[in-house]
Structure 1
């Protein structure tokens, strides 16, 4: 037989994703590049003041090439602040997503392995966490303990951890009853080795999809809390804080608010599209 008849699955595996997913991948790659190269590509310092050019319009609306996206109420360059905000928001979102996934997956695997009273305690914590509105909890914690980047990231990391715990527990119990897990146990492997080296890799695809679905939620939560003044504090900046400051100048200088809002919408949309696509590709029941 020819190579053409032998390898049709390989050709299908390399098929390009749909156009919307491809757009999402390109946009997310652009945002990651901007976040990594922010110190190099920023035209000005995001805290530099230029009071002579306060509320200067962007290019295309009567502005000059000195400030591509205009300036804010203190003459700070909007493009420079947008680049720094992208870096800050993505750092917070990635850190919080990883923390939530680690906490939830660990507790889910622990419940699947120990069962009994330990499982009941984990499920009770899951139900308790799911019953509390996270935004109210975040407002209370930030108002009582003050704010710092580390506390903010850890607090956002508690968002949706119960989702990972439920998924990890259910999939681990199902995987533990399959033949390969029983065979490894009979060979004398410890429970930690069974769960970390054999069961976890088999359920990782579902957990990764859950992370891509939680990532845009955390971006929106960070934006909302920063918009309310309880997120990233000055002189640091984030996408949400830019929207919060720009709302007071919406009629006079809409570019202050529209630029970060545009980035928030496209980034969350892109991650959601990629998450849906990964779910369809990695879920064997949908093939």
Structure 2
């Protein structure tokens, strides 16, 4: 009976009001810094994937490509224009004026304008020569992988013979006997380094033949040119691209060396190596003539080499 009365009273009587919650909540400082921490982690992950040296290398290469493609639009003067009254003018920082920021050479020609023209010609020669070298190497590598047998052994013997020959001496002999022109010079440099690309292309093509996609296309009746051109080549293109980026700076140095010896790009055209060759006679009285193109050669080859090494590590599945 008492239990039923207590239950009835509790049902009729409204519940007592709870005391108001007087606690003061303070924001968690970790929540405020969460976005900052996320931004830092993202920045850290970005620079781990793209190191600062790689970003600087990409910036420099893009700058050189822009100069090579659009430099003639921003060049202050014609690179062949002479002004004997301003010959051997000093650059800015060494007593010169902004009329000639990098000074002038022995004939009063603007070093900035000549440097822009030299970058355009040197990079064009290096790019075309690397493209010729890659074409020869990939074609012979694929041919050796497809023919096998004695034909493959013959191609490998040619590759070994090319690798054993000092290319600089061969280039000097060819240019001395056949003369020099920009087309001949570019084609000659295209025969440099093709043997390495041929070895890589042959090995990758042999390995790709044993994989499923090449065997499936072969079973469907595809021709060898279609198998190698449309299926194997796209799958090994990343490795070949890395090989080309490693061959590119060597071609630049080779062109610079031959032009420095007077057997490369001939006047009135100019190149980075030719500018260094012109300035060697004035290295004590006017060192700025050769310092600017020499610095461009060093920085460009270094940036391309760094980018090639980074691409090799990026595309290497064993490092992932």
Task: Tell me the TM-score normalised to structure 2 length.
Answer: 0.85
What residue number does 2:234 align with? 201
CA shift at 1:230, angstroms?
0.3
Write the mapping of 1:185-224 to structure 2, written as runs, cut at 5 A.
Answer: 185-224=218-257
CA shift at 1:113, angstroms?
0.7
The DSSP-based 3-state class of the residue aligned with 1:37 is: helix
Q: Distance in 1 between matches of 2:249 and 2:47?
A: 27
**1:196-229 CA distance string (max 9 Å, x none):** 1111111111110000000000000000000000
Q: Distance in 2 between matches of 1:13 and 1:214?
A: 28
Q: Distance in 2 between matches of 1:257 and 1:226?
A: 13
- State the number of aligned residues: 277
For the aligned residue pairs, the C-alpha RMSD in angstroms reads 1.4
* Aligned match for 1:157, one of 157, 168, 190: 190
Structure 2 portions without partners, runs of 5+: 1-44
What residue number does 1:129 align with? 162
* Aligned match for 1:98, one of 124, 131, 139: 131
Q: Does 1:180 align with 2:213?
A: yes
* Aligned match for 1:120, one of 153, 172, 182: 153
What residue number does 2:106 align with? 73
Write the mapping of 1:53-64 to structure 2, written as runs, cut at 5 A.
Answer: 53-64=86-97
CA shift at 1:14, angstroms?
10
The DSSP-based 3-state class of the residue aligned with 1:262 is: helix
What residue number does 1:4 align with? none
* Aligned match for 1:170, one of 188, 203, 223: 203
Q: Which moved more, 1:75-84 or 1:114-123?
A: 114-123
Write the mapping of 1:25-40 to structure 2, written as runs, cut at 5 A.
Answer: 25-40=58-73
* Aligned match for 1:266, one of 260, 275, 299: 299
**1:47-93 CA distance string (max 9 Å, x none):** 10000011000011111111110000000000000000000000000
Q: Distance in 2 between matches of 1:23 and 1:55?
A: 32
What residue number does 1:6 align with? none
Task: Tell me the TM-score normalised to structure 1 length.
Answer: 0.94
* Aligned match for 1:240, one of 270, 273, 278: 273
Structure 1 portions without partners, runs of 5+: 1-11
CA shift at 1:195, angstroms?
0.9
Q: Which moved more, 1:93-102 or 1:58-67?
A: 58-67
Q: Does 1:24 align with 2:57?
A: yes
Q: Distance in 2 between matches of 1:273 and 1:174?
A: 28
Q: Distance in 1 between matches of 2:81 and 2:196?
A: 42
* Aligned match for 2:180, one of 147, 160, 168: 147
